[in-house]
Copies of this chain bind each other. A is one copy, B any other.
Amino acid sequence: MFNIAVAQSGGPTAAINASLAGVFSGAEAYHEVDEIFGSENGIEGIIHNKLLNLRSIIMDERDKQLLMKTPSTILGSCRFKLKDFEEDEENYRKILDTFKRHNIKAFFYIGGNDSMDTVMKLDRYFKAKGVDIRVVGVPKTIDNDVTETDHTPGFGSAAKYVATSLQEIIRDSRVYSIPSVTIVEIMGRDAGWLAASSCVLRANGEPAPHMIYLPESDFSPEKYLEDVRQAQLRYKAVIVAVSEGIRCETGGFSSELTDAFGHKYLSGIGKYLEKYTSEHIGCKVRSIELNVMQRCSSHIASLTDIEEAERIGRAAISAALTEKKSGVMMTFKRISNNPYRVEIVTADINKIANREKKFPREWINTEGNNVTIDALNYFLPLIQGEPEIEYRNGIPVHFRLNQ
């Protein structure tokens, strides 16, 4: 008999707790596993020996179901970067100490690109020290920018929230008889996957958003104005989806914003484009930031995403304990779009840590202001299905540690 530990890291998503439930269920089904520890605030909890016994927290099937539909991370998260152990071994020693003290033979880290750096470094350290503690990464991020995997848990739910909200904003924007431009700012600092996913509305015959701008394509303010003017010839209410990370051909937008107004902290690209459009087009313009709701809206999560997040967590247990793998991350491999089928396989963590998967340039149209049908076909399966939500007093019930 031995124990395992699991931790959650990076920014919240609607599916990260589903992966935790998956790791827990996989471990529960594995007879050699005794205790299942959850680490508070990611790797920090391992360093500081702050472990929770998950068997006394996740008590039954209902707890698991609630956990899967609860956004963010019940164990807390962190933004902690380990130094190379050759440079500073102290934290590694503390980690090893916690693992040894609690007889932990496998560690599962649910996180994004940065968190996979921790998986890589820990695996390298344990191998260098000849210690048999397996380290396996479970991907999560709404940014969908993790390499080697077709997509990441958390992304599908964020995309479903963006599509649903955007469609409602479209209805809202068409209400008055005057021309208007509505700019919707969508998360994605370096990769435009989430903004690009707003194209899914097309599948239901909705022409908006009329333009989609991504960090993967250079943004020209002049071309943007021309795009808006062209769209206004056809549409009274023009809708623009813009990734927060778009970049100007002549340099960064954020620096321009700071220079011009001196108040960078007050706003992002949406507010900037609102002002810019208002000055140059002169019609009614507004901007909407979907903000953190994009990453935590469990009430409109994608069932496909939540189920996959659970499955990939469960598969991590098999990879570490049955296949005895370490220094890997679990990945989705897409077999087909229609019917949608994915397989879960492992990938070498060295090919993943600190890298970033950009939205493919070939899925951006030649004008650089929208995406292609291939993108639509890629996104659609990821937002299918709706989890059954339990309501109490008209409000979704969440799993809470200190209930």
Contacts and interface: CB of A to CB of B under 8 A. Distances in A.
Given A160-B394, A171-B398, A297 B79 contact: no
Nearest to A14: B168
Interface stretch (A248-256, A263-271, A312-320): A263-271
Interface string A131-153: 00000000000000000000000
A302 interface: yes
A347 interface: no
Most chain B Cβ neighbours within 10 Å, of A167, A172, A261: A172
A49 to B, nearest CB: 14
A165 interface: yes
A288 B292 contact: yes
Most chain B Cβ neighbours within 10 Å, of A175, A296, A395: A175
A103 interface: no
A338 interface: no
Contact of A385 (B165, B394, B396): B394
Nearest to A11: B175
A174 B293 contact: no
B72 A175 contact: yes
A78 B327 CA distance: 61
Interface stretch (A94-102, A117-125, A197-205, A359-367): A197-205
B299 A300 contact: yes
Contacts of A11: 175
A56 interface: no
A313 to B, nearest CB: 18
Nearest to A267: B266
Interface in A268-312: 271, 275, 286, 288-289, 291-293, 295-300, 302
Contact of A71 (B172, B266, B275): B172
Given A169-B292, A266-B261, A292-B288, A393 B200 contact: yes
A187 to B, nearest CB: 12
Contact of A200 (B40, B169, B394): B394
Contact of A380 (B175, B298, B394, B398): B394
A328 B184 CA distance: 40
A12 B172 contact: yes
A164 interface: yes
A275 B264 CA distance: 12
Given A177-B76, A394-B384, A172 B292 contact: yes
B12 A171 contact: yes
Contact of A394 (B41, B163, B275): B163
Given A168-B299, A292-B288, A78 B394 contact: no
**Which 8 A-B residue pairings sit nearest by Cβ, starting from the closest?**
A383-B394, A72-B171, A203-B393, A172-B296, A168-B296, A77-B175, A384-B394, A266-B266
8 contacts: A41-B177, A168-B296, A168-B299, A203-B392, A203-B395, A204-B393, A266-B271, A267-B271
